[in-house]
Chains A and B, each alone.
Chain A
Amino acid sequence: MAEEVTSRAATVLQTTVEASRSVRWYYEKVTAAKKNNKPVVWAFGLVPREIWHALDIPVVTLEHFPLLLAAKQLSGKYSQVAEERGFTRDICAYHSCFLGAALSDQLDAYTEKRFPSPDIIVASNFPCNQEVKTPQYLAEHYKCPFFYLDAPINPWGEEIKKHAVEYYETNLERLLVFLEKFGYRPDWAALQESVRLSQHLLRLWNKIVDYRKKAPTPMGAADGYICLYPLFQLPGTGIAVEIYERLLNEVRQRAESGLGVVDEERVRLIWAGLPPAYNLGLLNYPERYGAVVVQSELEWIGGAILDPEALNAKKPLESLARKTLLDFVNPTYSNRINLWKRLTREFKIDGIIAVNKRGCRNLPAGNRLIKDTVYQESRVPMIIFDLDGVDNREYDDAQVKANIDTFVESLLSKKGGRKQ
């Protein structure tokens, strides 16, 4: 069973502890706001986080809350509640877990403390259909004001068409108008400042990424997963910038002293798809072979592939539109595939571990495309197997580890072969 095999991520950085504290800090802030009668938003889909922070709106997001529950081994329990309410086990576990917690009559103490009820629900169809369906249901259930933020898809790659950016930008403006009804007045100076901070954060992120390309890598995917919180959930805040400044210093120092994640880095891997939030130690598992998962693809979510110089604080909504629409999790895959080509090349990757999350219709469908494209370009192999990063009920530790063992052993023997 999942409980017996789960392990926490073994991290190497001090700053990771701070990133982890920022999670607690933010959830406490949201609960305190609720106590003070500030309207709380439940947000679904990749609505630019900078808006919440600029307007000081307390928010619980679909993309993070279920991960917290999964880390506490609670995701399966809540998904089960949703299933008892008529949702099939085939939907995305982010959604079933969130739905279950939202519909449950009996929350455990941990969840209760971090899950204030919604006063407003905002949903965007980016990146998938489910992002709108759960909130529609919950808005009806809670009799809650609902805002739908329509996002175009991006089949163009890096050059997003002007009319699509403008369309999304106008939708963001309408979101601001909607939020004003609940006392959240659009504050343009604050929005500009938020975009400026977000730009600064992205610059820091890019520098950190450059150090992580070095061999041995000074920071692996286990630290990366936890440090993602400020980058993805807190962009546009001073606290995220502070954490990332310290992260950059620490990573730089480690890189300059040649400190890696393992003593002898023999194989470099990247993780595609969602790592198991209930068993993050799996990211460290290949280290017994001297194999390091140097990054997970997820670390680029939230528009982190955008060139920071493309953000312009004087045009906050246009900037946020670009950042969102460029995201690699877009329902069409050009940017995701380009990201993979780049990562494999620049990180000098030996192999890719890709997982299919059962209820997700978005990322798994791209795995075969990535596999073929990357292999064609750089002969880097990819293993694909089933693993749901949120729902701990179906996790098969022995099978997952056997897959990783076989893959890493084949990479090692290939490398050994090359040396001879």
Chain B
Amino acid sequence: MKSLETMRRYVREPQLLINGYRALGKKIIGYRCLYVPEEIIHAAGMVPYPLFGGPEPISLADSYLQPYICEFIRNVFDRALEGKLKFLDGLVLCNTCDAVRKMYDHWRTYIKTHLCYIINNPQETYSNHAYSYYYIELQNFRLEMENFSGQKITDENLARSISLYNETRSLLKKAYLLRKQDPAALSGAETLDMVMAAMIMPKEEANTLIRDVLKEAGNRVDRRQNSGPRILITGSIIDQPALIRLVEEMGGMVAADDLCTTSRYFWQEVKGDNPMDALCLYATQRCLCPCMHPAEKRLAHLQELIREFAVEGVIYFNIKYCDPFIFEGVMFKEVLEKTGIPVMVLEAGHDLSGIGQLKTRVQAFIEMLW
């Protein structure tokens, strides 16, 4: 599919996009993770740019952060130390996992972009006063972005950004839902590429391409027959398709995934008349990551995906030293297995270099599901 090929190329060669942003004189603001409201950065005329890891092994970062901390974050920090993220004008983080929070002081001290900001979002999402507290944090963030960009963020601009990003969300969800069909018009690995590209691309261009994906998918003849067991993959960040591909190559069908590079990015839309209220509300209603509370809400979301996508087995993927998912994996495995859904917990490094060793386990799991 041509549209998918273009999107895949952007994931492999993000420099193409970065050059484009630079040519337009835009400031590029790196961020982690999904609790950073991209729309506020966008409404200030800047580019929100999610940071992913690279394929290279970690070298410099190991003398700054202990080796027993999330390999993904060490990888990102390593890339910054190596000068590979020099295109960033600033970094925005939020209050999620320990690894992300650790980057704050390290970045300020050793990388020294003009901006390094952390949004102090609450980690619980159900009370009114968490909402009020978050509102103040978002207002402070909005001011910070105005100061940094030198551009006032009007409510109109913000509403426009929200609607643009909502369109991306809704298109991505449409494409995601294609995997409900049998045979499915998109594979899990293709969906990952598409979402990751949409995350780093200008949204106008991404929206056009996703529309094309939807059109081309409708005419696709080489559809994947859903002959294998339907599997849901959840867990730590997956920013390269190796694991999903492995499952699909071994005969499984990645029917759904709950990852911060896939459905967690777009599942809900930002809704409401007042843009700041809408962004606040969104944070309380979106799919949660395991750093947020209550855990029951996340479990309920997974169970809904399992039902909706007729999932037969769950692969719970942990990046080494990713505590939120390590704990949740044990907890959810027990609960889901009680409901008759087999769960396999897999642990690997961020670079998935040991993926070959996981092959036998993945194969055995898929065979067990037949």
Q: A163-B133, A332-B104 are in contact. Are A86 and B98 (CB under 8 A)?
A: no
The answer to whether A150 and B123 touch across the interface, beta carbons within 8 angstroms, is: yes
Asked if A366 is at the interface of the complex by the 8 Å CB criterion, the answer is: yes
| Cβ distance B4 to chain A, nearest Cβ, rounded Å | 36
In chain B, residues 123-152, which have Cβ atoms closer than 8 Å to a Cβ of chain A? Answer: 123-124, 127, 129-130, 133, 136-137
The answer to whether B105 and A366 touch across the interface, beta carbons within 8 angstroms, is: yes
| Cβ distance A4 to chain B, nearest Cβ, rounded Å | 26
The answer to whether A331 and B291 touch across the interface, beta carbons within 8 angstroms, is: no
Asked if B17 is at the interface of the complex by the 8 Å CB criterion, the answer is: no
Task: From the candidates B69, B97, B102, B293, name the one contacting A150 in the complex (CB within 8 A).
Answer: B293
Please report the C-alpha to C-alpha distance between residue A337 and residue B104 in the assembled complex, in whole angstroms.
Answer: 14
Task: From the candidates A129, A359, A362, name the one contacting B291 in the complex (CB within 8 A).
Answer: A129
Task: From the candidates B63, B101, B326, name the one contacting A90 in the complex (CB within 8 A).
Answer: B326
Please report the C-alpha to C-alpha distance between residue A384 and residue B96 in the assembled complex, in whole angstroms.
Answer: 27
The answer to whether A369 and B105 touch across the interface, beta carbons within 8 angstroms, is: yes
By a CB distance below 8 angstroms, the chain B residues around A111 are none
Please report the C-alpha to C-alpha distance between residue A133 and residue B322 in the assembled complex, in whole angstroms.
Answer: 12
The answer to whether B118 and A132 touch across the interface, beta carbons within 8 angstroms, is: no
Please report the C-alpha to C-alpha distance between residue A393 and residue B320 in the assembled complex, in whole angstroms.
Answer: 20
Interface size class of A (residues with CB under 8 A): 35 or more
Asked if A225 is at the interface of the complex by the 8 Å CB criterion, the answer is: no
The answer to whether A134 and B327 touch across the interface, beta carbons within 8 angstroms, is: yes
Please report the C-alpha to C-alpha distance between residue A88 and residue B236 in the assembled complex, in whole angstroms.
Answer: 15
Please report the C-alpha to C-alpha distance between residue A92 and residue B345 in the assembled complex, in whole angstroms.
Answer: 19
Please report the C-alpha to C-alpha distance between residue A333 and residue B137 in the assembled complex, in whole angstroms.
Answer: 20
By a CB distance below 8 angstroms, the chain A residues around B136 are 163
Asked if A128 is at the interface of the complex by the 8 Å CB criterion, the answer is: yes
Asked if B339 is at the interface of the complex by the 8 Å CB criterion, the answer is: no
Please report the C-alpha to C-alpha distance between residue A148 and residue B288 in the assembled complex, in whole angstroms.
Answer: 16
The answer to whether A137 and B331 touch across the interface, beta carbons within 8 angstroms, is: yes
By a CB distance below 8 angstroms, the chain A residues around B63 are 368
Please report the C-alpha to C-alpha distance between residue A361 and residue B123 in the assembled complex, in whole angstroms.
Answer: 18
By a CB distance below 8 angstroms, the chain B residues around A180 are none
Output the nearest chain A residue to B122 by Cβ-Cβ distance: A150
The answer to whether B124 and A137 touch across the interface, beta carbons within 8 angstroms, is: no
Asked if A7 is at the interface of the complex by the 8 Å CB criterion, the answer is: no
By a CB distance below 8 angstroms, the chain A residues around B68 are 90, 356, 358-361, 364
The answer to whether B330 and A137 touch across the interface, beta carbons within 8 angstroms, is: yes
Please report the C-alpha to C-alpha distance between residue A346 and residue B24 in the assembled complex, in whole angstroms.
Answer: 53
| Cβ distance B89 to chain A, nearest Cβ, rounded Å | 20
Asked if B321 is at the interface of the complex by the 8 Å CB criterion, the answer is: yes
Q: A88-B347, A148-B293, A367-B66 are in contact. Are A140 and B327 (CB under 8 A)?
A: no
Asked if B294 is at the interface of the complex by the 8 Å CB criterion, the answer is: yes
Output the nearest chain A residue to B129 by Cβ-Cβ distance: A170
In chain A, residues 149-190, which have Cβ atoms closer than 8 Å to a Cβ of chain B? Answer: 150, 152-153, 155, 163-164, 166-167, 170-171, 174
Pair count A-B, CB < 8 A: 125
Asked if A71 is at the interface of the complex by the 8 Å CB criterion, the answer is: no
| Cβ distance A371 to chain B, nearest Cβ, rounded Å | 10
Asked if B109 is at the interface of the complex by the 8 Å CB criterion, the answer is: yes
- Tell me which of B97, B133, B321 has the highest count of chain A C-beta atoms within 10 A of its own C-beta: B133
In chain A, residues 314-336, which have Cβ atoms closer than 8 Å to a Cβ of chain B? Answer: 331-334
- Tell me which of A125, A337, A372 has the highest count of chain B C-beta atoms within 10 A of its own C-beta: A125
| Cβ distance A342 to chain B, nearest Cβ, rounded Å | 17
Task: From the candidates A86, A164, A364, name the one contacting B66 in the complex (CB within 8 A).
Answer: A364
Asked if B64 is at the interface of the complex by the 8 Å CB criterion, the answer is: yes
The answer to whether B347 and A86 touch across the interface, beta carbons within 8 angstroms, is: no
By a CB distance below 8 angstroms, the chain B residues around A364 are 66, 68-69
Asked if A383 is at the interface of the complex by the 8 Å CB criterion, the answer is: no
| Cβ distance A389 to chain B, nearest Cβ, rounded Å | 14
By a CB distance below 8 angstroms, the chain B residues around A372 are 109
The answer to whether A167 and B133 touch across the interface, beta carbons within 8 angstroms, is: yes
Asked if A365 is at the interface of the complex by the 8 Å CB criterion, the answer is: yes
| Cβ distance B259 to chain A, nearest Cβ, rounded Å | 18
Q: A148-B293, A369-B106 are in contact. Are A361 and B330 (CB under 8 A)?
A: no
Q: A140-B331, A148-B293, A152-B122 are in contact. Are A361 and B129 (CB under 8 A)?
A: no
The answer to whether A90 and B98 touch across the interface, beta carbons within 8 angstroms, is: no
Output the nearest chain B residue to A372 by Cβ-Cβ distance: B109
By a CB distance below 8 angstroms, the chain B residues around A137 are 327, 330-331
Output the nearest chain A residue to B94 by Cβ-Cβ distance: A153
Task: From the candidates B66, B122, B137, name the one contacting A356 in the complex (CB within 8 A).
Answer: B66
Task: From the candidates A86, A125, A128, A152, name the one contacting B333 in the complex (CB within 8 A).
Answer: A86
Task: From the candidates A86, A91, A152, A365, name the one contacting B120 in the complex (CB within 8 A).
Answer: A152
By a CB distance below 8 angstroms, the chain B residues around A373 are 109
Task: From the candidates A167, A332, A361, name the one contacting B118 in the complex (CB within 8 A).
Answer: A332
Please report the C-alpha to C-alpha distance between residue A125 and residue B120 in the assembled complex, in whole angstroms.
Answer: 13
Asked if B295 is at the interface of the complex by the 8 Å CB criterion, the answer is: yes
Asked if A130 is at the interface of the complex by the 8 Å CB criterion, the answer is: yes
By a CB distance below 8 angstroms, the chain A residues around B127 are 174
The answer to whether B101 and A331 touch across the interface, beta carbons within 8 angstroms, is: yes
Output the nearest chain B residue to A154 by Cβ-Cβ distance: B120
In chain B, residues 61-120, which have Cβ atoms closer than 8 Å to a Cβ of chain A? Answer: 63-66, 68-70, 95, 97-99, 101-102, 104-106, 109, 118, 120
Output the nearest chain A residue to B294 by Cβ-Cβ distance: A148
A interface residues (Cβ-Cβ under 8 A, vs B): 85-88, 90-92, 125, 128-130, 132-134, 136-137, 140, 148, 150, 152-153, 155, 163-164, 166-167, 170-171, 174, 331-334, 337, 356, 358-362, 364-369, 372-373
Given A137-B330, A150-B123, A362-B102, 11 other A-B residues pairs in contact with their CB atoms under 8 A:
A86-B333, A87-B330, A128-B323, A140-B335, A152-B122, A331-B95, A359-B68, A361-B102, A362-B98, A365-B69, A365-B98
Cross-chain pairs A/B with CB under 8 angstroms, 19 sampled: A87-B330, A88-B326, A129-B291, A150-B130, A150-B293, A152-B122, A155-B118, A163-B133, A163-B136, A331-B102, A332-B101, A332-B105, A333-B105, A334-B105, A361-B98, A361-B99, A364-B68, A365-B66, A372-B109
CB-CB nearest 3 A-B residue pairs = A133-B327, A361-B98, A167-B133
